[in-house]
Amino acid sequence: MSKKKANEKHITHWHSLEVDDAVMRLHSDRHHGLSSQEALERVKRFGYNRLPPPRKRSAWLRFLLQFHNVLIYVMLVAAGTTAMLGDWVDTGVLLAAVLVNAIIGFIQEGKAEQAMDAIRGMLSLHTTVIRDARRTEIEAESLVPGDIVALASGDKVPADLRLIAGKGLRVNEAILTGESEAVEKTADPVQNDAELGERYCMLYSGTLVTSGQATAIVVETGVRTELGRISSMLAQVQTMTTPLLRQIARFGHWLALAIVLMSVATFVIGVLWHGHPPAEMFMMAVALAASAIPEGLPAIMTITLALGMRRMAKRKAIIRHLPAVETLGSVTVICSDKTGTLTRNEMTVQSVVTAGHVFDIGGAGYAPDGGIFLEGTAVTADDYPELAEIARAAVLCNDAQLHRLADESWQLTGDPTEGALLAFAGKVGADSAWERETLPRTDAIPFESEHRLMATLHHDHSGSGYIYVKGAPERILEMCERQGGLHDAETVLDADYWHRCAKRFAAGGLRVLAIAAKRVEQSWREVNFSDLEDGFALLALVGIIDPPREEAIAAVETCAGAGIRVKMITGDHADTAQAIGARLGIGLGKPALTGAQIEALDDEQLRSVALDVDVFARASPEHKLRLVQALQAAGQVVAMTGDGVNDAPALKRADVGVAMGLKGTEAAKEASDMVLADDNFATIGNAVYVGRGIYDNIQKFILFMLPTNGGEALVVIAAILFELTLPLTPAQVLWINMVTSSTLGLALAFERPEREVMRRKPRDPREPLLSWFFGWRVLMVSTLFMVGALGLFLWEMDLGSSLETARTMAVSTVVGAEMFYLINSRYIYKSALSLEGLFGNRYVLIAIAACAALQIAYTHADPMHALFGSTDLSPDEWLKVVFAGMFVFTVAELEKAVIRKFFGRGRSRLG
């Protein structure tokens, strides 16, 4: 037995109880409610109807955690060592590097998660309750189990309630189930194992009453509500570390280990083999450690990610947590909510079937824009008068309103399905205001789920009466004797034809409504159910859908080309989900997996099924969370999109949680790493494009930086092994690493993503940051740096130059080679010998100019001479530095040419 089923032994399934049984169990009275005294006693027993605040991490602790990095530890040890030796210049530079990195990280981390705060804010502030047999308004947090609550259209449900009685009650439960359509509610109990979206007698905290009235009894409050259960899940969800941070951590550990081993080996060899004094060798070991530590890496990574954040913001993707910028580039699976993300969250009439024709309706959403088409040809109501009659019925048998806003958009007031009918009428050419004025409503039977229809009675100004009805096709067909229109009296109803049409619509994922009408006597002034038994003419069947976004269809295709699987997770019925998925290109030819089927699978089975299935229906918050965990356990990097409270736990668990900015709840936004400002799935594709470019830029920076550090380390090692004078002092090494390398490397953060970046497969999140090939590249270029710097140092010493001049030549050679190698580094494989390669990134040119100015100041400014022990260089000496840099550039380009020739585009990802 699963843990969930074991826990359910202690849960009362209120949805399966009769009303009187539920009231009796709660020791309440459906007419008089609780007494005030009893309510106070229950507050003491059950607590207030609110959620506990989350534990927050203090600012000082967040700042201290910025130092929790193995490279930072190595830098701090080096700073402490130099301080003990009295080398305050080196100590100051090292500590400054550590502090700058910590400040940048602290600023960029942003605000702490506030998901449970956002959920708490969804509880309504006040509600109407019956206590002591009187109606009174109280704060919702004072509600207790057993309270009798009265609700009306527009109210937010204040706690979990069992419906006692309702009239025309419909509730929007999208925040919990993901379904965009309001749910009809009745007091009748349902099966014990009914899914959340099918518990029609229950009202859940935080949902919204869209129409009707209700009396209900409070059954759960606070943390015991569905919202409370989700907030508890959210608190228990562990946030995953991003692939890049895992790679950087592994890289940092190996690099730190290598630095420590090199430094220790250097000290031991110098003291035991060459007999140097321990104090001198200790300073050399410190110089070696300083040369090998990539001091600028943490800060440059943060800056690179921040620049990526800004680029994504321009593309409508707002990043909340900085590492998500790069993680998007490694995503292998996108789990997307359907409603409002892949679809428009605006119901739209897509097809209309009459007795003789099938019309396709263009456009989407509530704007009355889009044509009427018959077999691909645009038609009008003048060509087919039945369209005008259907449109009139759609307007009159309707309680919704569409309003045109100042920005030319359309806003719906009322039921989404009725809004779709009004938009259709507008496309036909009907004027809603004129139709209602011409045939004013005399009486109506509002929609109720037990009757599955709505009926309205109208009279024109000459006295003629008409009843219009709309509802479930099987219900309306029972009332019809004719088909066509009110004037087609001799056309007998072909029931088989209409049933076939309804079945075809439903198979395509459409919600089907039937519309019918009949003439009545002028004297009729009210409509009763007895008036609806027969005599109607069936005007049409209307197929309504929440249509897929066109840009989402293209984005799904783009993701497929990039090797990213898109999986749709929704609260809809399986048939609807599968049909929408097929329109989007998701899960073609594969059955949908339902929440009930997920329940039956253990974690191991779900892991294998989750990889193969692409459409998941009737999914609860637990199902979404389990699916994300199963995919991660299978080695996938998962992005999860959502807009409801029900999505928050999965958003938090995913490698990248993506919330909707326009229609998303605050809970979803606060649990996410990224917010889509336009609620557009296509924006995720754009963000992946930028994210892949960011990862490339980080790799390029590391491939640029490590040879610099490696070259310096090799210079120091060679000097120790061959008992040479140290060509670089620790302070000079830090000048190269922190000032020139960082200045130059920052330019790579501005590189645009490569053209074929979305034609690659996602990188394996388990692969190391640097492959064996990259290791070869680092070793080769490091050797080139060492040959140039050590070679010129020894040459100058051989010519009789001073030690200061020789060291200044060595430093300038390393910096000059960096400038040339920066141009090589713009592309990992492609040649830089082109106009685009040489001049395509203006920031590279600016960085080279800035670095050249800094190095000239280092060489010729008196304060630099005093601080770093540098000295002036002659024009001939500068020319040697330039030739050394060109040597590095030429060999690096030849190596790339060999790689392209012998490995080609099939083996390598070319820039």
Q: Is the separation of the CB atoms in 694 and 308 below 8 Å?
A: yes
- At residue 110, does pLDDT exceed 80? no
- Of 671, 668, 693, give the one whose Cα is nearest residue 679: 668
- Token pair for 433: 């205001």
Centroid of chain to Cα 101: 28
Angle at the Cα of 627 (from 622 to 633), degrees rounded to 5? 125
* pTM attached to this predicted model: 0.65
Is the model more confident about 291 or about 718? 718
pLDDT higher than threshold 90 for residue 175: no
The rounded distance, in Å, linking the Cα atoms of 671 and 27 is 38
- As a whole number of Å, the end-to-end CA separation of the chain is 54
Q: Are 867 and 89 in contact (CB under 8 A)?
A: yes
717 in Cβ contact with 262 (< 8 Å): yes
pLDDT per residue over 262-283, tens digit each? Answer: 778 878 877 887 777 787 677 6
Q: Residue 286: helix, strand or coil by DSSP?
A: helix
Among candidate residues 258, 285, 257, the one with its CA nearest the CA of residue 710:
258
How far is Cα 108 from Cα 105, in angstroms, rounded to an integer?
5
Please give the full DSSP string across 717-761, using - where no structure is assigned.
Answer: HHHHHTTPPPSS-HHHHHIIIIIIIHHHHHGGGGPPPPTTGGGSP
pLDDT tens digits, one per residue of 334-391: 998 887 778 877 889 999 999 989 999 998 888 888 889 999 899 999 989 899 999 9
State how far the alpha carbon of 843 is from the alpha carbons of 36, 354, 492, in Å: 72, 64, 77
For residues 776 and 809, is the Cβ–Cβ distance under 8 A? no
Q: According to the model, what pLDDT value does residue 8 have?
A: 40
Pairing mode, strands 565-569 and 333-337 = parallel
Band of residue 631 on the pLDDT scale cut at 50, 70, 90 = very high
Taking a C-beta distance cutoff of 8 angstroms, is the pair 571, 598 a contact? no
pLDDT level of residue 606 (50, 70, 90 thresholds): very high
Q: What is residue 242's predicted lDDT score, i.e. its pLDDT?
A: 55
pLDDT score recorded for residue 288 = 66
Question: Does residue 446 carry a pLDDT above 80?
Answer: yes
Rounded to 5°, angle at Cα 184 from 183 and 190: 95
Query: Quick one: which of 474, 479, 464 has its CA closest to 517?
Result: 479
pLDDT value of residue 875: 93
In 644-726, where does DSSP find H-type helix?
Answer: 648-653, 666-671, 681-721
Does residue 284 or residue 433 have the better pLDDT? 433
Q: What is the pLDDT of residue 341?
A: 77
**What would the pLDDT profile of 722-767 be if each residue is shown by its tens digit?**
778 878 876 787 788 766 776 788 888 888 887 778 888 887 766 7
Task: Give me the torsion for CA of 503, 507, 511, 513, rounded to 10°.
Answer: -10
Residue 217 gets the label, from left (phi > 0), alpha (psi -120 to 50) or beta, of beta
| The pLDDT of residue 124 | 45
Is residue 54's pLDDT more than 80?
A: no
What is the predicted pLDDT for the residue at 549? 83
Task: Using alpha carbons, select from 223, 241, 245 the residue that is nearest to residue 232.
Answer: 223
Percentage above 90 pLDDT, the chain: 35
> Average pLDDT in the 177-199 region?
83
How much is the pLDDT for 296? 59
Instruction: Report residue 635: phi and psi, to 5°.
Output: 90, 10
Q: Cβ distance 345 to 546 under 8 Å?
A: yes
Mean pLDDT comparison of 617-631, 685-699, 780-794, highest-scoring range:
780-794
* pLDDT at residue 529 tops 50: yes
Angle ∠(710,712,717) on CA atoms, nearest 5: 90
CB atoms within 10 A of CB 771: 11
Q: Is 572 left (phi over 0), alpha (psi -120 to 50) or beta?
A: beta
Decide: 85 and 282 in contact? Cβ < 8 Å. yes
The chain-wide mean pLDDT, for the chain, equals: 83
Whether the Cβ atoms of residue 243 and residue 330 lie closer than 8 Å to each other: yes
Pairing outcome for strands 565-569 and 511-520: unpaired
CA–CA separation, 127 and 136 (whole Å) = 8
Inter-axis angle of helices 803-824 and 772-798, nearest 10: 150
Residue 117 above 60 pLDDT? no
Joined tokens for residue 287: 């110089």
CA-wise closest residue to 341 among 594, 555, 575: 555
Output the CA–CA distances (angstroms, integers) from residue 556 to 553, 618, 660, in the order listed.
5, 22, 17
What's residue 701's pLDDT?
A: 84
> What tens digit of pLDDT does each residue of 304-350 get?
777 777 788 788 888 776 677 777 878 999 998 887 778 877 889 99
The residues near 75 (Cβ < 8 Å, ≥ 6 apart) are: 94, 97, 98, 293, 295
Q: Considering only 220-234, 287-301, 739-753, which range has the smallest mean pLDDT?
A: 287-301
Tokens of 2: 């699963």
Q: What is the pLDDT of residue 878?
A: 95
Q: How confident is the model at residue 9 (pLDDT cuts 50, 70, 90)?
A: very low
Helices (H), 539-634: 550-561, 574-584, 595-599, 603-612, 621-633
**3-state DSSP assignment of residue 110:** coil
Sequence-ordered alpha helix ranges (H) in 70-216 = 70-84, 88-109, 115-120, 174-177
Which residue from 705, 698, 694, 700 is spatially nearest to 255, judged by alpha carbons?
705
State the pLDDT confidence band at 101, using cuts at 50, 70 and 90. Answer: low
Residue 291 has what pLDDT? 58
- Residue in this structure with the two tokens 């399986």, named with its chain if needed: 574
Whether 911 shows a pLDDT value over 60: the answer reads no
3-state secondary structure of 842: helix
Tokens 């010493």 correspond to 797
Question: Is 782:710 a contact under the CB 8 Å cutoff?
Answer: yes
If phi over 0 gives left and psi between -120 and 50 gives alpha, with beta otherwise, what is residue 589? left
Tokens for 46? 């059950």
What residues are annotated to the active site?
A: 337
Pull the structure tokens for residue 614. Answer: 């692409």
CB neighbours (10 Å) of residue 138?
A: 16
pLDDT at 275: 76
Residues counted in the chain: 911
CB atoms within 10 A of CB 340: 24
Check pLDDT > 60 for residue 793: yes
CA distance linking residue 453 with residue 446, whole number of Å: 8
Give the tens place of pLDDT for each residue, 825-874: 999 888 899 888 888 889 999 999 999 999 999 999 999 998 888 999 99
